[in-house]
Every structure is written in structure tokens, then in C-alpha cells.
């Protein structure tokens, strides 16, 4: 029997409707709509598409979005000035600087310049530290989207052996952290799983992947995971998006559908979930900043 589809498109629709309802309620209560600022430096075609989709998703959810496009010759100082301005803007609750950045710009310095309270990508070292400590302020969008895709399809993760292919700072590493952590009230992405992380120096990768009850592929190598690498009935999440002859191709060979119990498609799997969790984080950022503001005004009224 072919694998059941882990339909990110459909689930994203459901979660975005929940977010839109929460935004509408905020606005009805006289609070400002959550606002997301994007910063795009240069004219990378793929980045332009990603950013455009983020703005469209914000509008559909009733959020405000602020587009900042800078030329590829922008200096680091100019970019840091813009980030400082957005940090200080009360209408901007979440901010992201689209990667990759031109060579003259130090991406680490840019990430560190974003206010941790507005860092909806969860890339700032303070937020990465909170995540590693099990008390996340934000959950990174792609890993959070993957966990939601599994959990909301009824795939139990507690105690399961999950194999994560890839250890990048954007996907593999934070995902492994979330999966292995103990759930608690302030850690909604924690999954209590047993996690193996595989990377380019790992040996006998097939024997590791065949042990996976849940296999997540984030290597960026088209059709890397073949049917013989998958345990029959396993849930397989394909994170990969590589452009091959004008088509987006995942890390999982389509023949895996004949072995796996569940499989996420590319496109239409993890991609729509990533943008959905960005909207979720922007809403959470707006709530957090409101709490900070009301604490500050309570303190100043007592003085």
C-alpha cells in the first residue's frame, strides 16, 4: 500500500486559519495587528520568491508586513542601521533578514543585531541558547513545522527512534534538540524521542536510517534517500528543496512511497509549514512585546 501523504499544504491552511482568527480577535480587542518586517539584500531570485510568499501569507492572516529591499552593494553598516531602526519600531513585532547575504556582510553580526524579542526565525544566539536549555522563546520555523506535520497527523513521537539526516543550524541541529527534549508547559515542540543525527562524516548511513521509525531528510541532495534505506511503515519527512532543471526536487526518492507508512511531498510538505510557523512566531512576538510594554507601563505608573 502506498504511503499516506503528510499534507503540509492542507495542514498549513488549517493552522493559518487558526492564526487569522487569533489576529482578528486581537484587533477586535483594540490591539495592533502583528507586524513582520523582512529585509532582502540583493536580487537573488529564489530569495525574492520566499520573501514575496511570506508577505502574501501575512496579508492573508490579517497581519501587517513591511518589505525592505536593499541593493547588493549595501554595506554592513547600512544593514545594521536598518535593523536598529526596525528594532525600535513598535509596529514591527517580528523581523527576518533573508539569507544568503552578499559576501561583504557578516551574517553572524546581522543575526546578533536583531532584537531577540523580534527574532522570529530563532537564529539569535540568545534564542538558540534558550532552545538548547529547553525553555525556548521561539521555536525555529522549519523544525517546528516538521514537528507539527507529524504530531497533527497523529504520529506519536514519544519514545520513538527518529533519525535526522543533516545537522545544519537551520534544520537538523535545532530539530534534533526539539525532538529529544522533555515536554513541559513552556516547551511545546519537545517530543521525548530517541534521536540519531546523521551527517556527511557518518558511517554506514543506510543501516542507521533503516532503524528509524521516523526519518527526516534535510541534506539538500536530490533523491538521497532510496527505498532500501527505509524501514517498512516508517514516517518519512522530506525537507530537501533542490532546483533540478527548473523543478524543485526533494531529498527522498519517490519510490520510498512504496515502503514508508507516511511521506511528505515536495513541494507541498514542509515548505508551507515553515511559513505557517513564521506567522505563528510573529503572533507570539506581538503577544510577548505587549506583555513587556504593559509591565513597563505598570512600573512607570508606580514611580
Ligand X SMILES: NC(=O)c1ccc[n+]([C@@H]2O[C@H](COP(=O)([O-])OP(=O)(O)OC[C@H]3O[C@@H](n4cnc5c(N)ncnc54)[C@H](OP(=O)(O)O)[C@@H]3O)[C@@H](O)[C@H]2O)c1
Nearest to 214 by CA among 198, 230, 192, 190: 230
Sequence-distant (6+) residues with CB within 8 A of 91 are 32, 35, 64, 66
Does residue 274 belong to the site contacting ligand X (CB under 6 A)?
A: yes
Helices 141-151 and 270-302, packing angle to 10 deg: 110
Query: What is the nearest approach in angstroms of ligand X to the Cβ of residue 239?
Result: 4
Nearest to 73 by CA among 101, 114, 50, 109: 101
Nearest to 132 by CA among 122, 142, 141: 122
Query: Residue 289 catalytic?
Result: no
Q: Would you give the binding string for ligand X spanning residues 116-145, x where CB under 6 A is met? A: --------------------------x---
Bridge partners, residue 198, by sequence:
165
Does residue 222 belong to the site contacting ligand X (CB under 6 A)?
A: no
Q: Which of 42, 62, 102, 220 binds ligand X (CB under 6 A)?
A: 220
Q: Could you tell me which stretch among 58-66, 118-126, 160-168, 278-286 binds ligand X (CB under 6 A)? A: 160-168
Q: Could you tell me which stretch among 23-31, 101-109, 124-132, 215-223 binds ligand X (CB under 6 A)? A: 215-223
Q: What is the arrangement of strands in the sheet containing 262-263, beginning at the earlier edge strand?
A: 4-5, 262-263, 235-238, 214-217, 161-165, 194-198
Q: Would you give the binding string for ligand X spanning residues 233-272, x where CB under 6 A is met? A: ------xxxx---------------------------xx-
Question: Is the torsion defined by CA of 226, 227, 232, 237 positive or negative?
Answer: positive
Does residue 199 belong to the site contacting ligand X (CB under 6 A)?
A: yes
Q: Which CB, 50 or 66, lies closer to ligand X?
A: 50
- Do 215 and 209 touch, CB atoms closer than 8 A? yes
Q: Which of 29, 200, 291, 303 binds ligand X (CB under 6 A)?
A: 200
Query: What is the nearest approach in angstroms of ligand X to the Cβ of residue 279?
Result: 13
Question: Is the torsion defined by CA of 223, 227, 228, 229 positive or negative?
Answer: positive
Does residue 170 belong to the site contacting ligand X (CB under 6 A)?
A: yes
Q: Could you tell me which stretch among 96-104, 122-130, 197-205, 226-234 binds ligand X (CB under 6 A)? A: 197-205
Q: Which of 34, 94, 143, 172 binds ligand X (CB under 6 A)?
A: 172
What are the angstrom distances between the C-alpha of 80 and each of 41, 67, 86, 173?
Answer: 12, 16, 10, 27
Q: Could you tell me which stretch among 37-45, 82-90, 167-175, 178-186 binds ligand X (CB under 6 A)? A: 167-175
Using DSSP's 3-state secondary structure scheme, residue 67 falls into: strand
Query: Residue 204 catalytic?
Result: no
Give the whole-angstrom CA distance, residue 117 versus residue 31: 18
- Cell, residue 104: 561583504
Q: Which entry of 10, 31, 48, 54 is annotated as an active-site residue? A: 54
Q: Which of 34, 35, 166, 174 binds ligand X (CB under 6 A)?
A: 166
Q: Which CB, 87 or 99, lies closer to ligand X?
A: 99
Q: Which CB, 117 or 146, lies closer to ligand X?
A: 146
Bridge partners, residue 95, by sequence:
37, 119
Does residue 291 belong to the site contacting ligand X (CB under 6 A)?
A: no
Could you tell me what percentage of the chain is helix, strand and coil, using 3-state DSSP and rounding each to the nearest 5?
Answer: 45, 15, 40
Contacts with ligand X, residue ranges (CB under 6 A): 142, 165-168, 170-172, 198-202, 205, 218-221, 239-242, 270-271, 274
**Catalytic residue list:** 54, 98, 121
Amino acid at each position: 500500500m502506498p504511503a499516506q501523504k503528510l499534507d503540509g499544504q492542507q495542514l498549513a491552511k488549517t493552522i493559518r486559519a487558526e492564526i487569522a482568527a487569533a489576529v482578528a480577535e486581537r484587533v477586535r480587542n483594540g490591539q495592533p495587528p502583528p507586524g513582520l518586517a523582512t529585509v532582502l539584500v540583493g536580487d537573488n531570485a529564489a530569495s525574492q520568491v520566499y520573501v514575496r510568499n511570506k508577505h502574501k501569507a501575512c496579508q492573508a492572516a490579517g497581519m501587517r508586513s513591511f518589505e525592505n529591499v536593499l541593493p547588493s552593494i549595501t554595506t554592513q553598516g547600512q544593514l545594521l542601521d536598518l535593523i536598529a531602526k526596525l528594532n525600535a519600531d513598535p509596529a514591527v513585532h517580528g523581523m527576518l533578514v533573508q539569507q544568503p547575504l552578499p559576501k561583504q556582510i557578516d551574517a553572524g553580526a546581522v543575526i546578533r543585531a536583531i532584537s531577540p524579542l523580534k527574532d522570529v526565525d530563532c537564529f539569535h544566539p540568545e534564542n538558540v541558547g534558550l532552545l538548547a536549555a529547553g525553555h525556548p522563546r521561539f521555536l525555529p520555523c522549519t523544525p517546528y513545522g516538521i514537528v507539527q506535520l507529524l504530531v497533527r497527523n497523529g504520529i506519536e513521537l514519544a519514545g520513538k527512534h527518529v533519525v535526522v539526516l543533516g545537522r545544519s543550524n537551520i534544520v537538523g541541529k535545532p530539530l534534533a534538540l526539539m525532538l529529544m527534549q522533555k515536554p513541559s508547559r513552556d516547551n511545546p515542540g519537545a517530543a521525548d524521542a530517541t534521536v540519531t543525527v546523521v551527517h556527511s562524516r557518518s558511517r554506514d548511513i543506510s543501516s542507521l536510517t533503516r532503524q528509524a521509525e521516523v526519518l527526516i531528510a534535510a541534506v539538500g541532495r536530490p533523491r538521497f534517500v532510496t527505498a532500501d534505506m527505509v524501514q517498512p511503515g516508517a514516517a518519512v519527512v522530506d525537507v530537501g528543496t533542490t532546483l533540478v532543471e527548473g523543478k524543485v526536487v526533494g531529498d527522498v526518492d519517490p519510490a520510498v512511497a512504496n515502503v514508508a507508512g507516511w511521506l511528505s511531498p515536495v513541494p507541498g510538505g514542509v515548505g508551507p509549514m515553515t511559513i505557517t510557523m513564521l506567522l505563528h512566531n510573529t503572533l507570539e512576538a506581538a503577544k510577548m512585546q505587549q506583555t513587556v510594554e504593559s509591565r513597563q507601563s505598570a512600573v512607570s505608573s508606580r514611580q
